[in-house]
Structure 1
Amino acid sequence: MTSNQYVMFLQRFIKNPKRVGSVLPSLRSLASKMVQSVSWEDVSTIAEFGSGTGAITRFIELFNFKSELRETLLHQITESLKPEGKFIAFQYSLQMKKHLSEKFIIDKIDFVPLNFPPAFVYTCRKKEGI
């Protein structure tokens, strides 16, 4: 992106932070960390949420949603995953860790300090019986 595009992105964030989701577009290092734990030979389907710019599209910052909508989204995600299916997401804090651990088995949480803002990548699996 050019410096002018970064300024436009920042202006959009200032106007509507919940819609844009980040001060700057996500970096390739964040996208790389997210796909690192994908077993590509075992994958038949991938669903990506959101739309936007950056190395990966705009994600869903779950913590920003009202609890009812957040529950609906997480329920739909767990329902759509096959047994042992993976849910990989990034968040800008650890505030969702406890909530995600109720719905998923959290295999790992990676920290990506060079992204701005720094991000946590949650690699989760669907729990049996859910």
Structure 2
Amino acid sequence: MNKINFLKESIKSLKTSGTLFPSSRFLASKLLSAIDFENAKLIVEFGPGNGIITKQILQRLNPNAKLITFEINDKFYNALLKIDDPRLIVTNQSADQVMDVIKQYGFDNTDYIVSSLPLTNIPKPITNSILNSAYACLKPQGYFFQFQYSLTYYNTLKQIFNCKVHLGFEALNLPPAFVYTCQKD
């Protein structure tokens, strides 16, 4: 999906896409910088949109690992289905179903979750369900990476991840974004 189509779809579904612009390569790089791709067995991605971050994960992912994506927007979902990589599993389900989906594919937990979900646009009960499900399905010492355009969810993430949250910032993105790195204890 090109940038023009991304913009058109984002305008139609701003509530769920959360932005008018795709993530920059700088933001993707910052989000993925702490991932041990060589040893990861499963990475989960919430809200991959048009797949910019998805493709960067796949470029680095070890040949025996899997990437499971959760995308509820039908146009983005269909664009993701066109990525030809046997390590990629594309689902059209809400991220709060993460535990059921990973078990369906033979996993008990995940090493990493990379999230581009617009948490502030999602109703709070659903966001809480997503974040608690994410925490539950991470392996011990696993990581949850989230970017947002505000600090609205900083305290919530600190509560869920027992204060193990590092805050970063990426100015080379439109708009600039905060990057939360959360580790399960």
SS at match of 2:178: strand
Q: Residue in 1 aligned with 2:33?
A: 36
From 132, 154, 174, give the equivalent of 1:75.
132
Q: Residue in 1 aligned with 2:150?
A: 93
SS at match of 2:19: coil
Q: Structure 2: which 5+ residue stretches go unaligned?
A: 55-70, 72-115
* CA distance in structure 2 between the aligned counterparts of 1:60 and 1:77, rounded to whole angstroms: 12
Which moves more between the two structures, 82-91 or 55-64? 55-64
From 114, 119, 126, give the equivalent of 2:172.
114
Shift of 1:54: 5.5
* CA distance in structure 2 between the aligned counterparts of 1:48 and 1:17, rounded to whole angstroms: 19
The code of the aligned residue for 2:25 comes to R
* CA distance in structure 2 between the aligned counterparts of 1:97 and 1:126, rounded to whole angstroms: 15
Q: Residue in 2 aligned with 1:84?
A: 141
Residues 15 and 40 of structure 1: is their aligned pair in 2 closer, same or farther, counting only changes over 3 Å? closer
Shift of 1:39: 2.6
Q: Is the 8 A contact 2:168 2:178 kept in 1?
A: yes
Shift of 1:48: 0.7
SS at match of 1:72: helix
> Whose strand fraction is larger, Structure 1's or Structure 2's?
2
Identity of aligned residues (%): 40
- After TM superposition, the score normalised by the length of structure 1 is 0.83
Deviation string 1:49-88 (CA, Å, 9 cap, x unpaired) is 1232253258211121111111111111011011111101
The code of the aligned residue for 1:56 comes to I
SS at match of 1:115: coil
Greater relative CO (CA pairs within 8 A, separation 6+): 1
The code of the aligned residue for 1:73 comes to I
The code of the aligned residue for 1:88 comes to F
Q: Structure 1: which 5+ residue stretches go unaligned?
A: none
User: Does the alignment pair 1:25 with 2:22?
Assistant: yes
Q: Is the 8 A contact 2:6 2:50 kept in 1?
A: no
